[in-house]
Each structure stands twice: as C-alpha cells, then as structure tokens.
Amino acid sequence: MRLVVDLNRCQAYAQCVFLAPEVFSLHGEEALLYEPRVAESRREDVLRAAAACPVQAILVDPARRPEEAGSDGR
C-alpha cells in the first residue's frame, strides 16, 4: 500500500509516530519522515495513524481490488 503525508498540513503532533513507529518518525524536533510504501500487513496500523492525525494529513491507498490492478496505472 502507498501513502503520502501532506506536510503543509502536518503540525508534528506525532500521533502517527506513536501509532506506527515503523512507518513514521520525526527527524529533529518536527520534520516528519515516513515510508511511502508499506506492506499490506501494516494496513491496520497505518489506518489507525491516519485516523488519529489531528489535521488529517495522511492519505492512504484504498485497498486495491484485483480487477483494477491491471488497468489502473499499471
């Protein structure tokens, strides 16, 4: 699964770092670094982090239905 953080919005509340530390980390006091591609098995963690973000800055791929994989951007 793919994700992106709108870092204009992000205010370094670090909720995501708390909930999915393998995916999100702070670099220095408030620069957020994240993994833009995460194993499907971590989807629950990432969705929880996205839901907890106070400014809703985290965008996650919807679960990919198999029939789309061929036509949509592959």
| Backbone region of residue 73 per phi and psi (left: phi > 0; alpha: psi in -120 to 50; beta: other values) | left
Tell me, rounded to whole angstroms, the distance of Cα 31 from its chain centroid: 15
Q: How far is the CB of 69 from ligand SF4 (least distance, A)?
A: 28
Residue 14 touches ligand SF4, criterion: CB under 6 A: yes
* Residue closer to ligand SF4, measured from CB, 37 or 65: 37
Of 11, 21, 22, 40, the residue at the interface with another protein (CB under 8 A) is: 11
Residue 16 touches ligand SF4, criterion: CB under 6 A: yes
- Determine the size of the site formed for ligand SF4 (CB under 6 A): 14
Q: From the list another protein, ligand SF4, none, which binds 29 (C-beta under 5 to 8 Å, kind-based)? A: another protein
